[in-house]
Structure 1
C-alpha cells in the first residue's frame, strides 16, 4: 500500500514543480485518453429572458380559455357560421424575437388594455385573414379560398378591422374576475416593424389559438407583456381558485340574485307547548291552552321553521302585523 503524502509534503512538491526543480513526465500515447466530445456549448445570458418564466402566471390559462369561448360565440354571431376558437399553447418570448418570427402578410391589431401598464397584440395569420375576408364579402366556408402572397390593402384591412375589434369586449369579459379592463382596438398594422408597444427585450406572454370555421382553419395569436400581467399574479392565485380575497364572478352574482328571489315561508309564533295525544283528543271548544309565556313577551318570527327574529304584535292598515325588534 502506497504511503499518503502529508499536507507539508504536498506543498513542497507543488512548490518544486512551479520553480522547475521537478520535470513532469509526458504521458505515453497509450496512456493518453482524449476527453469525450460533448454537445455544443449553449450561451447563457443572465441579463436576458430565459424560458423558465413560461408558466409564471398561475391559472391564467383559465382566463384565456374563457376568452376563447367568448370570442368563438362572437364570431359565430357575426359570421352566421359555427366558429370554434381553441387555445393551443403558451410561451414566453422576447418582443423583438417574437416580431421577427411573425408570419408574413398577416394582420397585427394593437389593443388598449387600461389600466394595465401596456397594451397587447392580436395577430391574425394570412390564412385566417384572407378566409375571414372572403366570408365577410359573401363567400362560403365550404369552398377553398385563395391566399394571396401579398400584404392586405387598406380597404381589405378596414373590412377585417371589425372582426379584430370584436375581441376587445371578450377580453374585458374574460378578465372581469381579476380586473375591470377598458379594452379597445387602437389600430391595425400589417408590418411588424411598425409595432412598438414595449422595448425590444421585454418579455411577452404568447398564447396561440386555432380558429375553425367549418373546414377553414387559421391561427390567432394573443401577445401580452409580462409587465402588464405582473400586478395580476396574486389575484390569479386568489380570484380564480376562490381564495379569501376573491372577487365575485358572474356565476356567483347570478346565484346570489336567484337566492334573493327565492320565496320562503314566514310565520309569527305566539308560543310553543308539548302535549300528549290523549290531551289533544279531549280538547273542547272554550278550553284554554297555556303557552308558558307572558302576554307582553315578544313573538318568535320563524323563517322556514327556523327562529330568526323577535317581534311585537300590532295592527297596520286594519290587518294584523308584527314589528321586528331584534334577532333570536
Structure 2
C-alpha cells in the first residue's frame, strides 16, 4: 500500500479538526437550546433563544396588575410620550387637604369610622380613562362655576354598595352584598348623589386658599359614553382616593381635564402657597411711590401749523406768525407725545392758567366732561 503524500496527510488532519469542532459546537448548542425550550442550535455556532416569559418582559407585558402595567420594557417607552404631563406641585397640597376634610365629613355623613387615603395623582388621556372604568359604576359630572368647565367623580361598585349598606343600617363586620347584572336603583343613585355632594363641597373648601371656586353637581351617568366632557385625546389629572369603613369600602376617582385647571395653572405651578416667582413686593411698592412723586413737564399747545421748509428758512427776527387760535379756543395740554387734557386759556391772579374741560387719558376719559371752574392748571 502506498504511503500518503504530504498533501493527503494535511487534508486528513484538517478534516479531523473540523469534525472535532462540529461535535463540540453541537453539544454546547443543543444544551443551551434545550434549556431555553427552543430548537437546537446550528452546528458550530452557540446561540441563545429567548423563551416567552423573557420576550414578554422585554416588551413590557409581563405585569398583569393595574399598578405595574406599562411601567417597564418597550411598552413603557412608547406610552411615556402619549400624555404630556405637566407637574402641578400645588395639587398635592390641595388634595392632601381634601383627604383631611373628607375624612371628617364622611364620618359625619355615615356615622361610622371612615378612613380616606390618597392613592395616586396621575396624568391620563381622557379617552383612555373612560375606557378603563370598570362597569357597573356611577359617574357624576360636576361643573366648576368660576372656571367655566367640567370634571368627573367616579364611584366604583364596591363603594356604592358599602355606602348603601352603611346608610341603610347594614350589620357591621359583614361585607356588603354585591348583586351583579342589574342597574342601580333610584335609592342607590340618590344615596350616591348625596355622598358626591359632600365630596364636591369639601373639594371647594380644599381649593379655597388657592383660588375660590364652587363645584356644583350637574348629573349622574352610568354609561361612560354619556359622561364625555372633553376630547378623547385631551390630557387630564386623575386623583384616586381610597375610602375604608372598617371592613367595607372602595375607590373614588376624581378626573379634572387640564382645560378645567387652565384658569389656575399659574397658581398650581407654585411650590408653596403664596409663591411670587421672583417678584419683590417691597421693590414694587417703592417704585410706585417714586412714580407718584415724579415731576413731569406739561406743554400747553395753542396751535399747530404745517409750514414749508422754505418758509421756515425765510424766518427772521421780527417776523409775525399768525396762530389760528382765538382767546376762547380749546387748548391742548400734552406730556411728551401724549395728549392729556383739553381746556381754555385764561388768567388766575397774576398767572396764565388753563381751565380743564375734558380729560383724554385714564378711566372714564371718554365720558368725563368737567364744567368750567372745576379745576384749574
- Bin of the TM-score, shorter chain as denominator length: 0.5 to 0.7
Whole-Å separation in 2 of the counterparts to 1:141 and 1:52:
45
Which segments of 5 or more consecutive residues in structure 1 lack a partner in the other structure?
Answer: 1-28, 246-328
SS at the partner of 1:110? Answer: strand
When Rg is computed on C-alpha atoms for both structures, the one with the higher figure is: 2
Q: Quick one: structure 1 residues 137 and 43, their matched pair in 2 at CA, closer, same or farther if it must change by over 3 Å?
A: closer
Q: Which residue of 1 aligns with 2:228?
A: 196
Other-structure match for 1:215: 247
Q: What is the CA-CA distance between 1:139 and the residue it aligns to?
A: 1.3
For 1:213 and 1:59, how far apart are their aligned partners in 2? 29
Give me the whole-angstrom Cα distance separating, in 2, the residues matched to 1:128 and 1:213. 10
Per-residue deviation, 1:49: 6.5
Find 1:113's aligned residue among 144, 155, 166: 144
CA RMSD of the aligned region, Å?
3.0
Alignment of structure 1 residues 122-141 onto 2, 5 Å: 122-141=153-172
Aligned residues of 1:108 and 1:121 also touching (Cα < 8 A): yes
1:91 counterpart (117, 122, 130): 122
1:158 maps to which of 175, 185, 190: 190
* CA apart distance, 1:240: 3.4
SS in 1 for 2:135: coil
Using the TM superposition, give the Cα deviation of residue 115 of structure 1 relative to its aligned residue in structure 2, in angstroms.
1.8
Contact 2:90/2:267, CA 8 A, preserved across alignment: no
TM-score (norm 2): 0.51
Q: What are the superposed Cα offsets for residues 236-294 of structure 1, whole Å, 9 maximum, x if unpaired?
A: 2448343238xxxxxxxxxxxxxxxxxxxxxxxxxxxxxxxxxxxxxxxxxxxxxxxxx
Instruction: Provide the residue aligned with 2:105 in structure 1.
Output: 74
Q: TM-score, normalised on structure 1?
A: 0.58
Q: Distance in 2 between matches of 1:49 and 1:152?
A: 38
Matched, 1:60 2:91: yes
Identify which of 178, 192, 215 aligns with 1:183: 215
- Secondary structure of the 1:166 match is helix
2:253 partner SS: strand
Higher RCO (CA < 8 A, seq sep 6+):
1
Query: For the structure 1 residues 178 and 241, does the alpha-carbon distance in structure 2 shift closer, same or farther, using more than 3 Å as the test?
Result: closer
Contact 1:118 1:198 survives alignment (8 Å): no
The 5-angstrom pairing of residues 229-308 of structure 1 reads: 229-238=261-270, 240-244=272-276
User: What are structure 2's unaligned runs of at least 5 residues?
Assistant: 1-41, 60-73, 278-377
CA positional deviation for 1:42? 5.8
| More helix, by proportion | 2
Question: Match for residue 147 of structure 1?
Answer: 178
Distance 1:214 1:44 in 2: 40
